[in-house]
Amino acid sequence: MSYQHRAAGEHELDLPLGKVVCIGRNYADHARELNNPVPTEPILFIKPATSVVPMEEAFTVPEGKGAVHFETEMAILIGETLKDANEQQAMHGIAGIGLGLDMTLREVQDSLKQKGQPWEKSKCFDGACPLSAFLSPASVNDLADVQIRLTVNGEVRQDGNSAQMLTPVLKLLSYASQWFTLEPGDVVLTGTPAGVGPVKPGDQLRVELVDLLRVETSVKALG
């Protein structure tokens, strides 16, 4: 399944697919629901480009590797190189705002954490990052007031607001750029609200930036 960044109008954006920078535990309630400490600074990890698939198309999840959890996130598409950027530079570097699912092999992750090992096997598998099309930055009035919602088989499972982020979006971009360069085509996933849980083949998902962007998708079986 090929992926190309797209604008919400469905035309392709002239940006390459780069790395996906993820922010762990950026909502206190989510940290607590997994019995994790609430961090005092952003936790950064990266998904490779090979993990990205289009959210609008039905996607598969691994089988035989334990529970696969959804984590719904606001996604920021980078349009300009950001290195040691301040918040104003970060704002100008945003090319689009969309949705991402940080799919996670939860039992694998728990085992890795217990051993003090990195999370890649639980977070970076093929298909671990469905991404939506991206809205123009001008479409979102306030990055600190965006409602993020996931409905699974008609039941609302996640319903949070970016106002609840421990580190707001522009500070996240600035912080990440202090550690590694954000390049055009990179995507930053900004953290997930509480309510994460498992999905299985056949599940129907509605993923939303409420009143801004909605994607209907589903989980399909392998093969």
Q: What is the pLDDT of residue 12?
A: 81
CA–CA separation, 89 and 156 (whole Å): 36
Residue 15 lies in a domain: no
Residue 5 lies in a domain: no
Residue 14 lies in a domain: no
Going by C-alpha positions, the residue among 73, 38, 37 that lies closest to residue 55 is 73
Compute CA 19 distance to the chain's CA centroid, rounded to the nearest angstrom.
12
Confidence tier at 222 by pLDDT (50, 70, 90): confident
Question: Which CATH number is 51's domain given?
Answer: 3.90.850.10
Residue 101 lies in a domain: yes
The per-residue pLDDT of the chain, averaged, comes to 94
Chain segment 133-189, per-residue pLDDT in tens: 999 999 999 999 999 999 999 999 999 999 999 999 999 999 999 999 999 999 999
Q: How far apart, in Å, do the first and last CA atoms of the chain sit?
A: 13
Helix H or strand E encompassing 136: none
Residue 56 lies in a domain: yes
- The label of the residue with tokens 């998902």 reads 205
Residue 9 lies in a domain: no
Counting every residue written for the chain, the total comes to 223
Question: Do 73 and 190 meet the contact criterion of CB atoms below 8 Å apart?
Answer: yes
User: Helix %, strand %, coil % for the chain, to 5?
Assistant: 20, 35, 45
Burial of 150 (0-12, 13-18, 19+ CB in 10 A): buried
> By residue range, what is the domain housing residue 211?
20-220
Number of compact structural domains in the chain? 1
Within 8 A by CB and 6+ apart from 71, the residues are: 30, 101, 102, 103, 104, 192, 196
Helix H or strand E encompassing 41: none
Q: What is the pLDDT of residue 178?
A: 98
Chain segment 84-97, per-residue pLDDT in tens: 999 999 999 999 99
Residue 185 lies in a domain: yes
Residue 2 lies in a domain: no
Q: What is the pLDDT of residue 28?
A: 79
Chain segment 178-190, per-residue pLDDT in tens: 999 999 999 999 9
